[in-house]
């Protein structure tokens, strides 16, 4: 993502930024002083109970992307750059983002706060412990595990079957060795032996609960509703049966307040909650979005991966729960990534290749169709890259004209908000138009119908099939009356299908649902397709190897 010789790294750019005190950012955003809890000079928590709406709630602009490729699309960067551009146009704008997970930061990514001149800062704080929200979620998740195992050890009054506990422990790290473990070894005083495993924290149901709860009371109620496993009689065991929802709520109460930071250009940014979009619903918290909506006129936010994952769940799960309509959707694409969808290897992306580009653009076409299916008009953000050629650019622009799709070129990595002004103008135009948003299905439809709708209307697939195990699980879910919930698909992000290698726009495929897992706290049913990794591993040379602290106490080696 560099356009000059020896350009500055993201960390260098972020470190050189002159940040405004967070009290100043808060004041400009209309946050009253008594609602602000400072965490150092440049971070703060906002008490949502002390925020009063400034008028009509803000319109929501969602930033999504084509199916991601190793070429990189720069979705967070465009999200930040668009907000900065709107800020430059004197709009009352707030950007709402997810919190990075330490696992990927220490593993591969090194950082997840935008890039170049379109970043949120303080970059090193946000990428490390930030205000401790993920640690609070980790702690609540693992405290629940400890309460479950202690309950069994102390006599097991609830008759929990240790073989049927579905609640797993978590860590906010990439640690493959913890995926499958046996706990409780060492004899009778060390607890009951059983199989267990660790997910990464962002895959915890508590992260989903945290992001979908609309108040502290709703948070407690959702925590109480989590199913942790089944009894020997196969009856569900809820957190409320263990009577620990109060303690879990207590562990989360401070984390539950949204965090305020700023972009490099001083646009206020709320960063709060961060579930993955392949295994969870992939959006920042409802508390963050709704707090931002009370304060601003326009809220720019993003959802994880491509529109088949993050945006679909943003529409069908988050917007439905929170009760708002997304007013515009930006789809981020790059010519490089589209060429990969057209069959070009990552190592061969430098040369001009209009043919591959036009083939790969079919992936973009499907994402455009999907957003229109929701009744919202998309705008393509074509994120500039130094290797783009004029012929390639023209091919994309022509395609957009032929298909009556709005497009804007962005250059926010290099130029910040200035590089997003064209996109901002297009977004503002769409915000003035009528909006016919509605979710794609009713929650009262059968599980099979709901999944089929997603597969056909969002993925462009032919049909869906369910394994015997999934069918058994559906029967059980229906028996318990848990089927009246939205679906959270767990699918590979790389393909519109459930086969990671099928790039571009696959057609005629059937998606296989291996398992259906009720998440009654989050309030959705997870449908697993293929092997979805819920605990990543570290690469041979983790990003951590280059990290350090300089003599002034500043971070080194974050990207």
Residues 227-246 that bind a copy of itself (CB under 8 A): 243-244, 246
Catalytic residue numbers, as ranges:
75, 77, 98, 109, 277, 305, 385, 413
Copy the structure tokens of residue 286. Answer: 């409802």
The greatest distance separating any two alpha carbons of the chain, rounded to the nearest whole angstrom, comes to 72
- Identified binder of a copy of itself from the candidate list 57, 73, 172, 205, rule CB under 8 A: 172
Distances (CA, A) of 500 to 309, 315, 494: 13, 23, 5
Nearer to a copy of itself, 45 or 91 (CB): 45
Nearer to a copy of itself, 110 or 506 (CB): 110
Residues 112-141 that bind a copy of itself (CB under 8 A): 125, 128-129, 131-132, 135-136, 138-139
Q: Cα(89)–Cα(421) distance, rounded to whole angstroms? A: 8
Residues 539-558 that bind a copy of itself (CB under 8 A): 540, 542, 544-549, 551, 553, 555-557
Q: Cα(442)–Cα(390) distance, rounded to whole angstroms? A: 45
- Identified binder of a copy of itself from the candidate list 181, 397, 443, 517, rule CB under 8 A: 181
* Nearest residue to 63 (alpha-carbon basis) of 516, 514, 426: 426
Run of H or E including 341: helix 335-341
188 touches a copy of itself by CB under 8 A? no
- Identified binder of a copy of itself from the candidate list 87, 91, 168, 220, rule CB under 8 A: 220
- Identified binder of a copy of itself from the candidate list 4, 5, 90, 189, rule CB under 8 A: 189
- Identified binder of a copy of itself from the candidate list 1, 19, 158, 247, rule CB under 8 A: 247
* Nearest residue to 329 (alpha-carbon basis) of 267, 270, 380, 404: 380
Residues 14-73 that bind a copy of itself (CB under 8 A): 37-41, 45, 47, 49
216 touches a copy of itself by CB under 8 A? yes
Closest approach, Cβ 110 to a copy of itself, in A, equals 11
Q: Which stretch binds a copy of itself (CB under 8 A): 148-156, 396-404, 410-418, 453-461?
A: 148-156
Can the peptide bond before residue 183 be classed as cis, meaning omega within 30 degrees of 0? no
Closest approach, Cβ 463 to a copy of itself, in A, equals 31
Write phi, then psi, for 183 (nearest 5 degrees).
-110, 170
Q: Which stretch binds a copy of itself (CB under 8 A): 73-81, 152-160, 366-374, 395-403?
A: 152-160
Closest approach, Cβ 168 to a copy of itself, in A, equals 13
Would you say the C-alpha torsion 115, 119, 122, 127 has a positive or negative sign? Answer: negative
Closest approach, Cβ 536 to a copy of itself, in A, equals 10
Nearer to a copy of itself, 132 or 343 (CB): 132
Write phi, then psi, for 309 (nearest 5 degrees).
-105, -80
> What DSSP letter does each residue of 463-530 carry, written as one string?
EEEE-HHHHHHHHHHHHHT--SS-EEEE--SSSSSS-TT--S---S-EEEE-EEEEETTTTEEEEE-S
- Identified binder of a copy of itself from the candidate list 3, 52, 159, 190, rule CB under 8 A: 190
């Amino acid at each position: 993502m560099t356009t000059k010789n020896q350009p500055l790294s993201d960390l260098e750019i972020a470190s050189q930024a002159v940040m405004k005190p967070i009290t100043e950012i808060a004041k400009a955003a209309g946050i009253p002083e008594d609602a602000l809890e400072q965490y150092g000079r440049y971070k703060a928590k906002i008490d949502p109970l002390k925020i009063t709406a400034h008028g009509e709630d803000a319109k929501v602009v969602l930033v999504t992307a084509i199916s991601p490729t190793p070429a990189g699309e720069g979705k967070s960067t465009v999200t930040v750059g668009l907000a900065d551009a709107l800020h430059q146009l004197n709009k009352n704008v707030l950007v709402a983002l997810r919190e990075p997970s330490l696992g990927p930061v220490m593993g591969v990514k090194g950082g997840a706060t935008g890039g170049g001149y379109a970043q949120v800062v303080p970059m090193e704080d946000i990428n490390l412990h930030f205000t401790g929200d993920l640690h609070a979620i980790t702690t609540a998740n693992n405290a629940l595990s400890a309460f479950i195992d202690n309950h069994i050890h102390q006599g097991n009054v609830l008759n929990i079957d240790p073989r049927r506990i579905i609640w797993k422990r978590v860590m906010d790290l990439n640690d493959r060795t913890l995926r499958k473990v046996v706990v409780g070894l060492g004899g009778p005083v060390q607890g009951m032996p059983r199989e267990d495993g660790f997910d990464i924290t962002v895959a915890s149901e508590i992260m989903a609960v945290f992001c979908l709860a609309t108040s502290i009371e709703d948070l407690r109620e959702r925590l109480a509703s989590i199913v942790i496993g089944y009894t020997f009689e196969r009856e569900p065991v809820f957190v409320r049966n263990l009577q620990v929802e109060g303690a879990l709520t207590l562990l989360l109460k401070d984390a539950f307040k949204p965090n305020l930071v700023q972009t490099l250009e001083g646009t206020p940014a709320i960063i709060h909650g961060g579930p993955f979009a392949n295994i969870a619903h992939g959006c920042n918290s409802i508390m963050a979005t709704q707090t931002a909506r009370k304060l601003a006129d326009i809220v720019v936010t993003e959802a994880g991966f491509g529109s088949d994952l993050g945006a679909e769940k943003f529409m069908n799960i988050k917007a439905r729960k929170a009760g708002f309509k997304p007013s515009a959707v930006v789809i981020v694409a790059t010519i490089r990534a589209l060429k990969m969808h057209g069959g070009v290897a990552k190592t061969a992306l430098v040369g001009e290749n209009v043919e591959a580009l036009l083939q790969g653009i079919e992936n973009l076409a499907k994402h455009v169709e999907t957003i229109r299916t929701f009744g919202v008009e998309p705008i393509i953000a074509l994120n500039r890259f130094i290797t783009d050629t004029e012929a390639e650019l023209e091919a994309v622009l022509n395609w957009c004209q032929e298909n009556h799709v709005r497009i804007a070129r962005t250059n926010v990595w290099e130029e910040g908000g200035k590089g997003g002004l064209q996109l901002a103008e297009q977004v503002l135009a769409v915000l003035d138009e009528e909006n016919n948003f509605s979710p794609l299905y009713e929650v009262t439809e059968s599980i099979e119908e709901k999944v089929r709708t997603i597969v056909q209307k969002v993925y462009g697939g032919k049909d869906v099939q369910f394994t015997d195990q999934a069918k058994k699980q559906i029967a059980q879910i229906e028996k318990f009356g848990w089927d009246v919930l939205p679906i959270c698909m767990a699918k590979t992000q790389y393909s519109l299908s459930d086969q990671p290698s099928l790039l571009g726009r696959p057609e005629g495929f059937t998606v296989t649902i291996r398992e259906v897992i009720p998440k009654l706290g989050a309030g959705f049913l997870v449908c697993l397709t293929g092997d979805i990794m819920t605990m990543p591993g570290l690469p041979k040379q983790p990003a951590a190897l280059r990290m350090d602290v300089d003599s002034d106490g500043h971070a080194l080696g974050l990207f």
